[in-house]
Structure 1
Amino acid sequence: MNEPNRKAIQNRKDFLYDTDIDTAIKVMDRNVTLKKQGKGQSYTYIETPTYIIYNCYASENKDIEDLEIMLEEIALHIRRHKEKVIIAGDFNAKSPQWGEMTMDRRGEIITEWAAQNDLVILNQGNKPTFRRGDYTAILDLTIATQDIRNKVTKWEVLDRESLSDHEYIYFEVTEESSEPIRENPRNEGWQVRKLDKAKLQQVIAEMETGQNHRSNEFSGNLRRICEQTMPKRKTSSRGKPVYWWNNEIAQLRREFLTKRRTYTRNKRRDPPSHEQQLEEYKEARQRLRKKIKAVKRTSWKKLCNDIDCDIWGDGYKIIMKRLTGFPPDNK
């Protein structure tokens, strides 16, 4: 659980909670064997003979640096132990990777972190996990390592009263591999230029229409229309580098990650050098951001100029993808 009632669980031996009591874990099944349990700032974890489960809370009231430190500590644990890991919690972040329409800074950090550590977002992106009045969002994430993703089944946001702004998320972890959870549909796409218009009219006519359909019903119908009227575009688990990436940015990124790891590891071990390492980490991040911004600008201008030479070349494809969200098909 996230943001538990501190007075209710503090000093209770049946709860594991972190240093700030932002997260807590209680194992309900006495038959579960715990090999190890641990905690950090805003996260807790338990280790069983089969897997490790992390419970995280990234408060929107804390600095971005706190989120980065928490993620780096978890990543170090994953790399060190190489165990099957599930990470769940309230991350207060937005990204199309898990169903939001926009990307914020926290979402960008988590998306990049997941890619760097070969992690998979298990959210389906078709139902909000947070509701407050008319506002809804997908803030609660379930993330897994590749070696356990096919063992996580029945993932869903439950239609049960939680007495909270956050919905219950349910999933099961099996011993045997099963059909993998389909990744967020927003990562999929269709070849729009090959739309079968006659089939489209037929499918729409067969569906019930009306003003009382809920948004999730509309989304389901829209997906079925796409599946029946257009071929899917081909996807790859490892995409090409973005058009503006170069060796200089790669080097600056390596330097930034080194500074971040040094700061994260020594934050509690060596307080006297903490401030200096924090400044070096921030400076490395600023250099990386500044270089990316400059290279993006010049690369974008070059792409636009390249269109004059080859109107159907790479420049056209990249620009159309940026403007529409769909990569144009090769003719």
Structure 2
Amino acid sequence: MSHDLVSELVIEQRADLLIITEPNKYLVARSGWMVDTNGDVAIMDVSGRIAWRLTSRSGGMLAVESDSTLAIGAYVSPNCDINEFTRRLDIIQGVVNNARKKVIILGDFNSKAIAAGSAYTNRRGEILTDMMRAISCLCVNDGTPTYEARGHSSVLDLTIDKIDGVR
């Protein structure tokens, strides 16, 4: 059902690109979707107005670019250890460092950081905040929770944007 709701929102908002973390693997197996090597991130060019090219793919990360923009979808499982978390962010940082255009990163990092709108910062949040600082990016979330369960809410799904637009 969530894929159907997202599809409706894409139409209403006239979106060009759709990035989904933890997608329904059966739905994204259809043509038109680009998927990371683990099946955790899926990206689709939904409008056809912009020519998006796949530029990088790894477990939990997928990057596409147009002439003016690099868009990265990312997912880091809450079950991976801190070394794997750091390794995945290092891969994203490397992709961004090679970009010479506007950068936007969307994803579920399963971390908590005050810089991303959470009430506190955990170790993963410290590493994520350090990466954002290193690549001159800021989280543009407004603090609205993106995950709620059993009376607990968190800001886990983030939109991270390049401060200066071009590096």
Secondary structure of the 2:98 match is: helix
Specify the alignment match of 1:73 in structure 2: 91
1:8 matched to 2:23? The reply is no
Task: In structure 2, give the amino acid aligned to 1:22.
Answer: D
Task: In structure 2, give the amino acid aligned to 1:128.
Answer: P
Structure (1 or 2) with the greater strand fraction: 2
Displaced runs of 4+ in structure 1, greater than 6 A?
none
Deviation at 1:83, TM superposition (A): 2.1
CA contact (8 A) 1:54 1:87 kept: yes
Aligned with 2:161 (options 133, 139, 144): 144
Residues 94-173 of structure 1: pairs in structure 2 closer than 5 A? 94-125=112-143, 127-148=144-165
CA contact (8 A) 1:88 1:140 kept: yes
Deviation at 1:58, TM superposition (A): 0.9
CA distance in 2, matches of 1:46, 1:35: 5
CA distance in 1, matches of 2:81, 2:136: 25
Structure (1 or 2) with the greater helix fraction: 1
Aligned residues: 147
Aligned in 2, Cα 1:18/1:146: closer, same or farther, shift over 3 Å? Answer: same
CA contact (8 A) 1:46 1:54 kept: yes
Deviation at 1:15, TM superposition (A): 0.5
Deviation at 1:128, TM superposition (A): 0.7
Specify the alignment match of 2:8 in structure 1: none
Deviation at 1:78, TM superposition (A): 1.7
Higher normalized contact order (CA 8 Å, seq sep 6+, divided by chain length): 2
Q: Please give the root-mean-square deviation of Cα atoms over the aligned residues, in Å.
A: 1.6
Specify the alignment match of 2:111 in structure 1: 93
Task: In structure 1, give the amino acid aligned to 2:161.
Answer: A
Pair member with larger Rg:
1
CA distance in 1, matches of 2:54, 2:133: 27
Give the % identical residues.
29
Residue deviations 1:148-189 (CA, integer Å, cap 9, x gap):
39xxxxxxxxxxxxxxxxxxxxxxxxxxxxxxxxxxxxxxxx
CA distance in 1, matches of 2:124, 2:52: 32
CA contact (8 A) 1:35 1:49 kept: no
Secondary structure of the 1:81 match is: coil
1:60 matched to 2:78? The reply is yes
Q: TM-score, normalised by structure 1?
A: 0.42
CA distance in 1, matches of 2:92, 2:159: 14
Task: In structure 2, give the amino acid aligned to 1:31.
Answer: R
Structure 2: unaligned runs, 5 residues or longer: 1-19
Residue deviations 1:234-262 (CA, integer Å, cap 9, x gap):
xxxxxxxxxxxxxxxxxxxxxxxxxxxxx
Task: In structure 1, give the amino acid aligned to 2:25.
Answer: R
CA contact (8 A) 2:107 2:158 kept: yes
CA distance in 2, matches of 1:45, 1:35: 8
CA contact (8 A) 2:61 2:92 kept: no
Task: In structure 1, give the amino acid aligned to 2:23.
Answer: P
Deviation at 1:61, TM superposition (A): 0.8
CA distance in 1, matches of 2:121, 2:100: 30
CA contact (8 A) 1:42 1:57 kept: yes
